Structure 1
Amino acid sequence: MAARLPRIHATLNIEGEEITILREGLRVAFFMPGFHGEVVGAVAEALARYRRALEPESLGWYLDHDGNWWALADEAPGFLQQKLMDPRGASVEARGRPDSVTGVRFGYVGHATVPALFAQDLAKPMCAVEFWLPTGLLETQGAEAVRALIIELGRGLPFSSGHAGLAFETWGWSDHTSSILRHRSARHPGFDLPGPGLGALALSLGTKLRPPAWLNFLGPPVLNELGGAEGLRSRLHSPSTQVEALSPDRALVSLGPVPEAGDLEAGDTLPAYRELARVLEPWLYVHKGSWGGLTEAEVRQWERRFR
């Protein structure tokens, strides 16, 4: 079954060159309780799998601590892995290009200790990792192959939650992108919005869950409270939903064979996504404050789009 996705693409002409500032993509994110040293080995293995899967369309640039982009081709082999493995903790971001969104992107945030600013508010330390995939892979490789890759990326990670699905990839909310993001997210609920940043989300999310996506990874403590994979399966009745046990304490909920954007203007409300949202309601994350270009009230409305 082929995925039928809306094409979302916005560019700017900068000195005669068309730069892509917004496009549709597949965002894969995992949130892991624990300190950097406890999870980074598994993250490094997942990064190696990701880079092999994307060749030759690979990561080309990385961001330094001063906010400058540098070509990975100018660094020694294994540079990105070494940067990731820093025992003091790591904040790593790499992309296909430094000036244009391409659908290829990696991010990781892991703390060796709890940041002092948040020490009183955090029940436990959290690390987070994300991988972006171009939606073109769904056409060239097929949704089943893409699904298999995403499962492999998460299989060795000690996650409490994770999700993979359609998302807007952009450099951020701006005058050029905000109107598109507002309109498209209101019409297509299957798309995730660019948020406050991976690190900020990891600090506030804890073991709560983001709203449903195409693929939903559940681990402790939420999966335990749901009665494991079998308990969760008994609550979901949509014919397109599949619950798969990945291990005794981790499971994957797939909402259909392909990622769906939905289209409220055409009456496509994504009922399987809504059913899962109702089941997970007590554990869903509620963001405090603004989110990108949305006010807190707009964030609340967007977070509840499946309920």
Structure 2
Amino acid sequence: MAVRFPRVQTTLNIEGEEVTILREGLRVVFYMPGFHEEVMGAVTQALDRYLHALELESLGWYLDYDGYWWALAEEEPGFLQRKLMDPRGASIEARGRPDSVTGIRFSYVGHSTIPALFARDFPQPMCAVEFWLPTGFLETRGNEAVRSLIVELGRGLPFSSGHAGPALEAWSWGHHTTPILRDRSTRHPGFDLPGPGLGALASYLGTKLRPPAWLNFLGPPVLTELGGAEGLRSRLHSPSTRVEALSPERAVVSLGPVPEAGDLEAGDTLPAYRELARVLEPWLYAHKGSWGDFTEAEVRQWERRFL
């Protein structure tokens, strides 16, 4: 089946070179309660699977702690894996290119202790990991192969929640990207928006849930409160929805065989997404404050777009 979400791309000419500052892609994120040393082995294995799947496409650059980009080709093999296995914690940002959005990206944030500045507001330790796949990867591999890859990325992770689906990746929020982000997210509810920092979002989110996406990963405590995979399955009736238990504590809900963005102007409202949102409403996260250049009111409307 063909990709069922629109191409989105914004470029700027910078000193004679076309640089992509916004594009569509497939975003995969998992949120994991606990400290870094509890999850680092599982995250390293997931990174290995991701890098193996990319084959000729690859992560090319990483960001150091001083904010400078360095070529991974100049480092020893397994450099990112060694950073992940540091018991003191890790904060990793790696991309296909340092100066252009490519749809290939890996991010991870995990702490070995709760920083004193956050202990009062965020007493629960949270780690988060993010993978991006370009749209071309979906077109060449096929939807079922990509779904299987994403499920395998999550299978070994001790997540409380996760999601995967079409998303808009931006180099940064700004006057070049905000109008497009506002227009596309309003018209195509299946698109996820660039978030605040991954670590900050994980801390705010805790064990709450983001809005439904193509693939929805549920773990404790929410899945337990829903009665496990069987209890959740009994509440969902859309013929395109599939609930698969990954373990007694965790499951993935697929909303159709193909990732979709929907199109409100064409009457495509993504009814399966809306059904899941109604079931999960008591556990959905409500962000406080702005989100990028969106006001708090815009963020609230966007978060509740399936309700």
TM range (shorter): over 0.9
> Which position in structure 2 is the counterpart of 1:191?
191
Give the Cα separation in 2 of the matches to 1:3 and 1:186: 20
- Alignment partner of 1:63 is 2:79: no
1:1-307 matches, within 5 Å, as 1-307=1-307
Q: TM-score, normalised by structure 2?
A: 0.99
Q: Distance in 2 between the 1:12 and 1:32 partners?
A: 37
How far residue 123 of structure 1 moved from its aligned partner, in angstroms, is: 4.0
Q: Secondary structure at the match of 1:244?
A: strand
Report the Cα distance in structure 2 between the residues aligned to 1:117 and 1:4, rounded to whole angstroms: 44
Q: Deviations over 1:51-95 (max 9, x none)?
A: 010011000000000111000001111111111211111100100
Compute the RMSD of aligned alpha carbons: 0.7
Please state how far the C-alpha of 1:98 moved relative to its aligned partner.
Answer: 0.4
Q: C-alpha distance in 1, partners of 2:10/2:256?
A: 28
SS at match of 1:94: strand
**More displaced stretch, 71-80 vs 279-288:** 71-80
Q: Deviations over 1:11-36 (max 9, x none)?
A: 00011110010000000000001100
Identify the range of structure 1 (72-81 vs 102-111) with the bigger mean alpha-carbon deviation. Answer: 72-81
Secondary structure in 2 matching 1:200: helix
1:53 aligned counterpart, secondary structure: helix
Secondary structure (helix, strand or coil) at the match of 2:290 reads coil
4+ residue runs over 2 A deviation: 1-4
Cα deviation per residue 1:169-207 (whole Å; 9 max; x = unaligned)?
Answer: 111211110110000100000000001110110110000
- SS of 2:204's equivalent? helix
Aligned equivalents of 1:31 and 1:84: distance in 2? 16
Q: Determine what percentage of the aligned residue pairs are the same residue.
A: 82
CA apart distance, 1:115: 1.4
Query: What SS does structure 2 have at the residue aligned with 1:243?
Result: strand
Deviation, structure 1 residue 2: 2.3
Size of the alignment, in residue pairs?
Answer: 307
Cα deviation code 1:205-225 (max 9, x no counterpart) = 000000000000000000000
Q: Which amino acid aligns with 1:297?
A: A
SS at match of 1:279: helix
Contact 2:24-2:168 within 8 A present in 1 as well: yes
What SS does the aligned partner of 1:247 have? Answer: coil
> How far did 1:163 drift?
0.3
What is the alpha-carbon distance in structure 2 between the residues aligned to residue 166 and residue 14 of structure 1?
27
Report if the CA contact (8 A) 2:114-2:123 is conserved.
no
- Check whether the contact 2:5–2:166 (CA below 8 A) recurs between aligned residues: no
Letter of the 2:190 counterpart: G
